[in-house]
Amino acid sequence: MSIISPIFKSFLEFNRGSGRRGVAIYFAAVTLTIVLALALGVSLMSVYQLRNVNEAAVSVTAFAAAETGIDTALAIPAALNNGWSLLDQPIGNAKYSVTSFECGLGNAYWCFRSVGTYRGTQRAIQIQQPK
């Protein structure tokens, strides 16, 4: 304690007469500006990440609706007719449209194309099944 107090006293005496008054205020302002910039940067990154997570959730829901369309088509025997379709079938807040058509070499396959839509985002699935 005895070593620290003479050093502290000499520091105070040096700063009193040196014309450096208000340096602490400038230092505090610069520090607060830097902290504010960092906080704004982190919050901006968080907003972008939340937006990306929301877009991914919308995309997954649209894909799930398209997958439901394929499952529905495979469960209905009448779907094995060329040109069969279910259009704009609701599933919760999403919807799907599915059509069947012949495809492959010599029309050896039945193809099903399903498009799921959710909040303006569309995802599609197409499968083929041997006749």
Q: Give me the residue spans of the domains in the chain.
A: 4-130
Task: Give the 3-state secondary structure of residue 89.
Answer: strand
Q: What is the pTM of this model?
A: 0.66
- Contact yes or no for 102/82 (Cβ under 8 A): yes
List, for residues 63-122, the tens digit of each pLDDT value: 999 999 999 988 888 877 878 888 888 888 999 999 999 888 888 888 999 999 999 999
What's the full length of the chain, in residues?
131
- Contact yes or no for 122/128 (Cβ under 8 A): no
The Cα–Cα gap between 65 and 28 comes to: 56
The Cα–Cα gap between 115 and 37 comes to: 45
